[in-house]
């Protein structure tokens, strides 16, 4: 195995939740009277913590409307929208293959809230796949590296023994700030050219390809 600790982003890396995120944010924007939020604009902020995402998506929004947008987005994501959110092909099998090595540690670093991630863990029965996780609301939003620093400390792993895997520049730049190796996956939200600017050590076009490389 190449690394002792493999840290995964969630949305756009493990779970194909992009369409649901876009639909829910667009519905929330319409409901608070902000207007139609473009698909590309919403895709661009996936991976950030929700307050940071809203501030970037809606420049100049006042705190009251930002909170209203946040509340309506949460409602649609949890209750109002039924867009499927499957794992990407090969995720369950690939993570099981990594977990078969007792020395391996797996973690999640996500822009989701703790409440949101724990709900997904319960609904997908996958929380036991990971040894640790960090969410944006309990530390700092990407691309600040604090969540990676906390995961390294919790799991007792040196930065050179760890890798961050994600589909956005926020994931890769978070790792780059620490000097941590980073791997890009191109099936998520940010274009390959944008990911390449963060100098990933490997780029995967599909999850099984990523697992083969990590397992080498």
Please tell me the CATH code under which domain 5-16+87-215 is placed: 3.40.50.1000
pLDDT tens-digit map of 48-100? 999 999 999 999 999 999 999 999 999 998 887 778 899 999 999 999 999 99
Domain with CATH 1.10.150 in the chain: 18-80
The confidence band for 3, taking pLDDT boundaries of 50, 70 and 90, is very high
Q: What is the pTM of this model?
A: 0.94
Percent of the chain with pLDDT over 90: 92
- Enumerate the CATH 3.40.50.1000 domain ranges in the chain, comma separated: 5-16+87-215
The model's pLDDT over 108-150, given as tens digits with 9 standing for 90+, comes to: 999 999 999 999 999 999 999 999 999 999 999 999 999 999 9
DSSP string, the chain: ---SEEEE--BTTTB--HHHHHHHHHHHHHHTT--PPPHHHHHHHBTB-HHHHHHHHSTT--HHHHHHHHHHHHHIIIII-----PBPTTHHHHHHHHHTSTT-EEEEEESS-HHHHHHHHHHHT-GGG-SEEEEGGGS--TTSTHHHHHHHHHHT--GGGEEEEESSHHHHHHHHHHT-EEEEETTSSS-HHHHHTT--SEEESSHHHHHHHHH-
CATH topology of domain 18-80: DNA polymerase; domain 1 (1.10.150)
């Amino acid at each position: 195995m190449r690394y002792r600790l493999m840290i995964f982003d969630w949305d756009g890396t493990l779970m194909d939740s992009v369409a649901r995120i876009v639909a829910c944010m667009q519905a929330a924007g319409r409901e608070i009277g902000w207007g139609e939020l473009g698909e590309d604009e919403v895709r661009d902020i996936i991976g950030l913590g929700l307050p940071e995402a809203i501030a970037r998506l809606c420049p100049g929004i006042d705190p009251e409307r930002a909170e209203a947008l946040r509340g309506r987005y949460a409602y649609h994501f949890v209750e109002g929208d039924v867009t499927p959110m499957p794992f990407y092909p090969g995720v369950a099998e690939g993570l099981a293959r990594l977990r078969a090595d007792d020395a391996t540690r797996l973690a999640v670093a996500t822009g989701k809230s703790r409440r949101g991630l724990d709900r997904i863990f319960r609904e997908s029965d996958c929380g036991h796949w990971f040894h640790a996780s960090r969410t944006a609301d309990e530390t700092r939003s990407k691309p600040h590296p604090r969540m990676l620093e906390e995961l390294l400390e919790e799991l007792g792993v040196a930065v050179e023994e760890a890798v961050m895997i994600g589909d956005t520049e926020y994931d890769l730049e978070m790792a780059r700030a620490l000097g941590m190796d980073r791997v890009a996956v191109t099936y998520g939200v940010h274009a390959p050219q944008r990911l390449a600017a963060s100098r990933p050590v490997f780029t995967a076009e599909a999850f099984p390809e990523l697992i083969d490389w990590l397992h080498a």
